[in-house]
Amino acid sequence: MYKKLKHYTDTLNYELEKTAKVMKILGMQVMEKLNISLLLDEYVALDIISCHQGICQRDLAKLIIKDRANTGRILNSLEEKGLITRFVDTKNNRLVRKMAITESGYKMLKNINKKIESYISETKKVVSEEELDGLYNSLKKVRERFEELIELKI
């Protein structure tokens, strides 16, 4: 039951923030333990690029919630590793740099996903598939509502 607010630590905001931090630490440890040659942020960016071929840096930055400078560093690393390519295209009649995942990027992503699958499935041991679906939908709804209230300066 969601408690009446006595302390910040009694809020959904605190639980979400704490859970997100724990999940990030877990993700970084899993990447290291499995000898994956990407940082967690690089993996997330690569995964998003695989889903959104031709995405521009600004849109990617919004999806990974990083400023453009950090996003640029992530992209430079992925490009140096041959996992993405960047190219110039137009968007709203302006030249923009976009990116796409390479064949070796797809292979690496598939390999990483296979390696981390057992760690991701640990969640199913804690809550049922139905509860996971409900939690996912609820979190998405909360995030989308809060995104309307904030101004991301990316």
State which of 12-16, 75-79, 115-119 shows the largest mean pLDDT: 75-79
pLDDT of residue 154: 66
Could you tell me which residue, 119 or 71, shows the higher pLDDT? 71
pLDDT of residue 127: 85
pLDDT of residue 3: 59
Interval 43-71: pLDDT, tens? 999 999 999 999 999 999 999 999 989 99
Domain residue spans of the chain:
14-120, 124-154
pLDDT of residue 146: 84
Question: What is the pLDDT averaged over residues 66-78?
Answer: 95
pLDDT band at 152 (very low <50, low <70, confident <90, very high): low
Q: Does 2 score more than 60 pLDDT?
A: no
14-120 architecture in CATH? Orthogonal Bundle (1.10)
State the DSSP string of the chain.
-PPPPSSGGGSHHHHHHHHHHHHHHHHHHHHHHTT-SS-HHHHHHHHHHHHSTTEEHHHHHHHHT--HHHHHHHHHHHHHTTSEEEEEEEETTEEEEEEEE-HHHHHHHHHHHHHHHHHHTTHHHHS-HHHHHHHHHHHHHHHHHHHHH-----
pLDDT band at 128 (very low <50, low <70, confident <90, very high): confident
pTM score, whole prediction: 0.83
